[in-house]
Structure 1
Amino acid sequence: MIRVVLLFLLLLFGSVAKAQTSTDSIQRLDEVVLSDVKLKRYSHGYKVTVLNDSLLQKNRSSFTDILRFNSNLYFKENGYGMVSSPSFRGTNASQTAVIWNGISINSQLTGQTDFNTINTTNFKSVIIRSGGGSVQYGSGAIGGSIHLNNTLSFSPHFDNTMTLSYGSYDTKNVSYLSSYAKDKWSFNIGLNYIDSDNDYKYLSTDKRNTNGAYYNGSINANVGYVISPKDVIKLYHQTFLGEREFSGTISSPSLAKYEDQNFRTMLEWSRQGDKAFSKLKVAHLQEHFKYFGNKNTENYTFGKINTYLINYTADINLLTHLKLKPIVSYNYYEGNGSSFGDPNRKEFSTTALLQYTPNEKWQYGLNLRQDVTSGFESPLLFSFDVAYEVSDYYTLKLNGSKNYRVPTFNDLYWQPGGNLDLVPETSYQIDLGQDISYKSAKLNLNAFYIKTTDLIQWKPNTSGFWSPENIAETQNYGAEASLDVSKKIKEHHLSLQFNYAFTVSEDLESNKQLIYVPYHKANINLAYAYKRMSLFFQHLYNGEVYTTTENLSGRFYSVEAYQVSNFGMTYQLFKTKSQHIDVSLNVNNLFNTVYENVAFRPMPDRNFNFQIQYKF
């Protein structure tokens, strides 16, 4: 029935869109359709970091490691390859939105995304947008949002990339990426499979990670068709199938196993007119898991969520310098699980984004959103942003917003422990940024403040079960710095990227830092290329984090600060106009550092990865 309704609405909006005026050419439509209009046009006052496809394809480590070594995000990872949760400016994982081609893919069970279930094959870019984004992206975008973007180019081409790699712990990875376009058609597909025993040694002990093996496969396929000079229709699809043994702690071995199945399909119809550009999206998302407490038995618990979504947007040029983007969205969620029953939820939202550009120096944005969510009273949300170009080298940015997060199905219905009396989290944030650029150097400086009320936290109750509660206010504040420098001297290419974050995240009642939020985090990337050879060096500093709140003795427990380095080299064996072969060797944890990311869960010792990549 849901699918029939969505199809009917698709036809309805399609008939309404026919009233818009035509554009001048398919090429112009291409340029508009294939860019992330909402993110690009309505984020002038925000800090936006772009990780391009060359970085994603060359770095064959996990998505967690790509972000850990190339951004200010902190990750809590329960052993290498296990569940990976981000902390964005001291907020928790459920307060970070992950956006796939414009729609949120955060789990309706946990409210977060496990970054070790995302493969970056076939993403044109990953964009990190700092600052509250609930107005544009809905529940959960309190600390920031991470955007995974597929693009479809209609310029005639046929490109292929085949990558094979083998590394320590019998880790095997194979991927294939193909992109094709001719006439009115464009198509690309990314296939990836990885398998690892993941049985690394626990340094300074005689033990190994005996229950850490994992394997997964993913498909990322997209197709586009130019219906007319005004219309393009695109279909996006993702499939992820994975199985992981869940590592135990250094003192408590585990036999647990976890199976993931994630499916995402979205149909998008874009239409370009002289004064308006509209998009209609219809999507179906499914997340499914099985948890085995003992991998040697057939006993398991399970959970399954289906999401049905319809979203309509229009970019309207009200005046020469004034643009309006109305958004209407409807989501329906239905769940089924052994520990939370058969819940469902309906969400309807209306959003208005306004962008005013009076001249080349000033950019103003004002946005409003109202949600209607079954079972909750959602607040009226707002955000604003301002960007002022002081000179060709210096830009000031300011943004502020009211954000929120509704309780997840696990928060409400998990048995035992769910709490039906929870109310949504609400927060206010403000961010001041400075962009300084000179020749081949760029420096970003940001200071931020976030205040959250009714934060949802799981705590042990009087019955001995863990249960979520709305706790007192919390505040997050700090500063971030990012530096990017590149230099070319004849055939020598050098680059440096540096990121640093100072973060305070505290409970206002106790004035204590929240658990698993480091005060200090920094990383540096150095790269050098000459003719066919290139080298890189990465270094990460992760400050001390508290792992428990104060106990009866008044003592805190923590994970010590650590530093870890990676090194890699690539050599181009063969190159013609249309083909080339690269071989590379990466050494991770170069100095064999003993460190933990989560208490009592050691991370890998020094390990190696060899890769060969063929582009044709």
Structure 2
Amino acid sequence: MILKKAFILLSVSSCLTIYYSQEKIIDTVYVFDNQMKKVKLFHSLNTLSPEDIQKNSSNLSEVLRFQSPVYIKENGRGAVSSPSFRGTTAQQTAFVWNGININSQFLGQGDINNIALFGYDQMDIKSGGGSVIYGSGAIGGSIHLNNNLSFNNGFSGLFNSEAASFGTYNNFLKAAYSNDRFSFKASGNYLISENNYEVPEKNNYINRNGKFYNTTFNFGAAYKIANHQTISWQSQFYDATQNYRILEENGNKTSYNAQTMRSLLSWDINKSKISNSLKAAYTEDNFQYFGVYNAPFTSGGINKNYIFKNDFNYFIIPKLNINVIGEFQQNQGEGLGDSKIEKVSRNVGSAAGLLRYFAMSNLRFEAGIKQDFVENIDSPLLYSFSGKWKANSWYQVNLNVSKNFRFPSFNDLYWNPGGNLNLKSETSVQADMNHEFSVAGFTLSLNPYYMKIDNMIRWLPTAFGYWAPVNTDKVESYGLESQLSYQKSFNKNHSVKLTAGYVYTKSVDLATQKQLTYVPLHKVSSNIDYQYKFLKFYAQGMFNGLTYTTSDESKKYAIYPYFVMNAGVSTTILKKYTLGFKVNNITDTVYETVDYYPLPKRNYSVNTTINF
């Protein structure tokens, strides 16, 4: 499609340069999170494709553990799981679905293993604050689950089926159709696992009652109502059950059910100097906890969110761009059964402005400011500044400074007894400077950072015998994120891709001068892919350093360093049929990410994929 005076997206060393110009061809792919392409102008992201995600197909925790700088706290395979970016907590990580923040309004965080794994076109992992664009909780980092729709591609489909150790079966089906004006995509996934693995070295540990299963459906459609206008829709339906482990054969079995529904409607206008995206979204999260097996649920909750968002973009002159984002939400929550929250609601609004200046093709700046309006809660004025300079063909530098925040969750405010209506929002200031060197096909990224968090919300025991949240902790976090990558093809038959990352994290409670719990000082991860004609091979390795589990830095109760390696091989027949075999934890390592919850030793899977 040719548009006069169109927005242009040019690839420059894995980042994009956007500006206003004359008669250029633009991509026919519609992306639901229209801010993501702007974020990539100024920030380094770790982008994972569906093929990358398939390497760790058990759950989202496995994907992030082996393919990102994030530390994952998982209470056993497939159970409750939470992330830690740059030494922060799960509440300071934002999960973003197609540009919409989907953190739980009850907990203020996302349970990784209750977020669908399949059905996305790409996953982006962004370290560092992003509250100006992505709202509450985007302090340590954000995880973006993105879908897109393309035009003029006709019909395509994919079916993948996997059988794995511990009675695990995973099936995924996707189909898409598009012409020059209409695009539709649908996918479904069903995963079930008995999850009854054993770790004899840990007091003859057996993961009894560890069964989990989930079902996901994704639907997306887009229609061009005019040359410059598109209406689109994206929805996700997710249903899951997790059983919680028991230590004895006849112990009381408990489980947790979760149902999620998300729907997003968007009207986008893209003209010469002006673009506008108007979005309306509805998200609903339901959960039920069963304290007694085969009995009515003990407790539960319903969270409903109504979201309206407008994103206006205007080029004042070819090198100067202004972006204004307005958003309104109504959050509703209700506890069920023994849950200690009555029916509550709140209104949340925000207004943000960003100014982008493209001084030249190798130098650009962005400055942003945002004010949130949260009912009955004071919210700070947020800001961000980014600059990127490509000094020459082998070196570029990127500076980011921002103030970010998280407002209290429903549990923090209204839990009975203990809720504290006088809580302040958590705030943070952060700075990082990413240095990127490119030589002979290798790219080395070195990103030192500093962050300080004030008014961190912490639940503490009271004199009345119950726990209550208070603004107490001040945390200082600093460290280094680094990554080395290499990609090359040889003689049209061979290709190799390598990524290796090292993360150093020092995150200290300023009151005690001790490292925060479950924040490893060192983490190393590596992934290598090799392809020869129809044969593919990959290997993953992860080293995790000493991790304290108590606030006094006791080495007696710490998780000691470990190394885990996975590998897989696949072959493609007649260009449509692929057979694969994977071995997880080749080293047969005994390890855990949360004390007393060991993860599986060596295990296997076979899979087949059909493209049609």
Question: Structure 1-normalised TM-score?
Answer: 0.92
SS in 2 for 1:94: helix
After TM superposition, give the deviation of residue 465 of structure 1 in Å.
2.7
Q: What is aligned with 1:493?
A: 495
Task: Tell me which protein shows more helix as a share of its residues.
Answer: 1
Q: Which among 215, 222, 226 is matched to residue 213 of structure 2?
A: 215
The amino acid of 1:385's aligned partner reads S
Q: Which among 103, 107, 111 is matched to residue 106 of structure 1?
A: 103
The amino acid of 2:522's aligned partner reads H
- Any idea what the Cα deviations from partners look like across 1:36-81, whole Å, max 9, x if unmatched? 4422224533222211233234542322111111110110001100
Aligned pairs for 1:543-554 (under 5 A) are 543-550=545-552
Q: Distance in 1 between matches of 2:252 and 2:182?
A: 50
- Over 3 Å counting, the alpha-carbon distance change for 1:514 and 1:310 in structure 2 is same
After TM superposition, give the deviation of residue 347 of structure 1 in Å.
0.6
- Over 3 Å counting, the alpha-carbon distance change for 1:253 and 1:390 in structure 2 is farther
Q: What is aligned with 1:138?
A: 135
Q: What is aligned with 1:595?
A: 591
Aligned pairs for 1:72-91 (under 5 A) are 72-91=69-88
Q: Distance in 2 between matches of 1:232 and 1:522?
A: 43
Q: What is aligned with 1:15?
A: none
The 8 Å contact of residues 288 and 305 in structure 1, kept in 2 or not, is answered as: yes
Q: Distance in 2 between matches of 1:365 and 1:559?
A: 41
Q: Distance in 1 between matches of 2:123 and 2:60?
A: 10
Q: Distance in 2 between matches of 1:137 and 1:364?
A: 19
SS in 2 for 1:454: strand
- Any idea what the Cα deviations from partners look like across 1:172-217, whole Å, max 9, x if unmatched? 1111011110231100011000011000012324341111101110
Q: Which among 157, 160, 165 is matched to residue 160 of structure 1?
A: 157
After TM superposition, give the deviation of residue 247 of structure 1 in Å.
2.1
- Over 3 Å counting, the alpha-carbon distance change for 1:53 and 1:189 in structure 2 is same
Q: Which among 38, 41, 66 is matched to residue 38 of structure 2?
A: 41
After TM superposition, give the deviation of residue 473 of structure 1 in Å.
1.4
Q: Distance in 2 between matches of 1:519 and 1:371?
A: 34
After TM superposition, give the deviation of residue 364 of structure 1 in Å.
0.4
Q: What is aligned with 1:237?
A: 235
Q: Distance in 2 between matches of 1:416 and 1:246?
A: 26
The 8 Å contact of residues 372 and 380 in structure 2, kept in 1 or not, is answered as: yes
Q: What is aligned with 1:573?
A: 573
Q: What is aligned with 1:192?
A: 189
After TM superposition, give the deviation of residue 367 of structure 1 in Å.
0.1
The 8 Å contact of residues 44 and 385 in structure 1, kept in 2 or not, is answered as: no
Are residues 1:561 and 2:557 paired? no
Are residues 1:95 and 2:97 paired? no
Q: What is aligned with 1:11?
A: none
The amino acid of 2:271's aligned partner reads G
- Over 3 Å counting, the alpha-carbon distance change for 1:36 and 1:206 in structure 2 is closer
Q: What is aligned with 1:412?
A: 413
- Over 3 Å counting, the alpha-carbon distance change for 1:606 and 1:268 in structure 2 is same
- Any idea what the Cα deviations from partners look like across 1:408-447, whole Å, max 9, x if unmatched? 0011112333222211101100001111123422111100
- Over 3 Å counting, the alpha-carbon distance change for 1:318 and 1:27 in structure 2 is closer
Identity over aligned pairs, percent: 36
Aligned pairs for 1:241-252 (under 5 A) are 241-248=239-246
SS in 1 for 2:411: helix
The 8 Å contact of residues 454 and 472 in structure 1, kept in 2 or not, is answered as: yes
The amino acid of 1:206's aligned partner reads N
- Over 3 Å counting, the alpha-carbon distance change for 1:499 and 1:366 in structure 2 is same
The 8 Å contact of residues 373 and 379 in structure 2, kept in 1 or not, is answered as: yes
Q: Could you list the runs of 5+ residues in structure 1 that have no partner in the other structure? A: 1-22
- Over 3 Å counting, the alpha-carbon distance change for 1:87 and 1:254 in structure 2 is farther
The 8 Å contact of residues 43 and 385 in structure 1, kept in 2 or not, is answered as: no
The amino acid of 1:416's aligned partner reads P
The amino acid of 2:411's aligned partner reads N
Are residues 1:609 and 2:605 paired? yes
User: In the comparison of the two structures, how many residue pairs are matched?
Assistant: 588
* Most deviating of 340-349 and 541-550: 541-550
- Over 3 Å counting, the alpha-carbon distance change for 1:228 and 1:36 in structure 2 is same
After TM superposition, give the deviation of residue 482 of structure 1 in Å.
0.6
Aligned pairs for 1:356-375 (under 5 A) are 356-375=357-376
* Most deviating of 323-332 and 431-440: 431-440
The 8 Å contact of residues 445 and 479 in structure 1, kept in 2 or not, is answered as: yes
After TM superposition, give the deviation of residue 29 of structure 1 in Å.
7.3
After TM superposition, give the deviation of residue 359 of structure 1 in Å.
0.6
The amino acid of 2:595's aligned partner reads A
Aligned pairs for 1:322-333 (under 5 A) are 322-333=320-331
After TM superposition, give the deviation of residue 282 of structure 1 in Å.
0.3
After TM superposition, give the deviation of residue 26 of structure 1 in Å.
13
The 8 Å contact of residues 53 and 124 in structure 1, kept in 2 or not, is answered as: yes
Q: Distance in 1 between matches of 2:252 and 2:107?
A: 22
Q: Distance in 2 between matches of 1:251 and 1:87?
A: 33
The amino acid of 2:463's aligned partner reads T
The 8 Å contact of residues 208 and 247 in structure 2, kept in 1 or not, is answered as: no
SS in 2 for 1:112: coil
The 8 Å contact of residues 246 and 254 in structure 1, kept in 2 or not, is answered as: no
The 8 Å contact of residues 268 and 282 in structure 1, kept in 2 or not, is answered as: yes
- Any idea what the Cα deviations from partners look like across 1:482-524, whole Å, max 9, x if unmatched? 1111233322222221011000111111100011100011111
Q: Distance in 2 between matches of 1:251 and 1:390?
A: 64
- Over 3 Å counting, the alpha-carbon distance change for 1:299 and 1:177 in structure 2 is closer
* Most deviating of 187-196 and 151-160: 151-160
Aligned pairs for 1:74-473 (under 5 A) are 74-204=71-201, 205-248=203-246, 255-337=253-335, 338-473=339-474
* Most deviating of 372-381 and 59-68: 59-68
- Over 3 Å counting, the alpha-carbon distance change for 1:358 and 1:314 in structure 2 is same
The amino acid of 1:180's aligned partner reads Y
After TM superposition, give the deviation of residue 531 of structure 1 in Å.
1.8
After TM superposition, give the deviation of residue 565 of structure 1 in Å.
1.0
- Over 3 Å counting, the alpha-carbon distance change for 1:462 and 1:196 in structure 2 is same
- Any idea what the Cα deviations from partners look like across 1:262-295, whole Å, max 9, x if unmatched? 1000100001122100000000000000001222
Are residues 1:503 and 2:505 paired? yes
Which structure is higher in RCO with an 8 Å CA cutoff and minimum separation 6?
1
Are residues 1:60 and 2:57 paired? yes
SS in 1 for 2:593: strand
SS in 2 for 1:571: strand
The 8 Å contact of residues 549 and 556 in structure 1, kept in 2 or not, is answered as: no
SS in 2 for 1:410: helix
Q: Could you list the runs of 5+ residues in structure 2 that have no partner in the other structure? A: 1-19
The 8 Å contact of residues 165 and 173 in structure 1, kept in 2 or not, is answered as: yes
What is the aligned-residue RMSD (CA, Å)?
Answer: 2.2
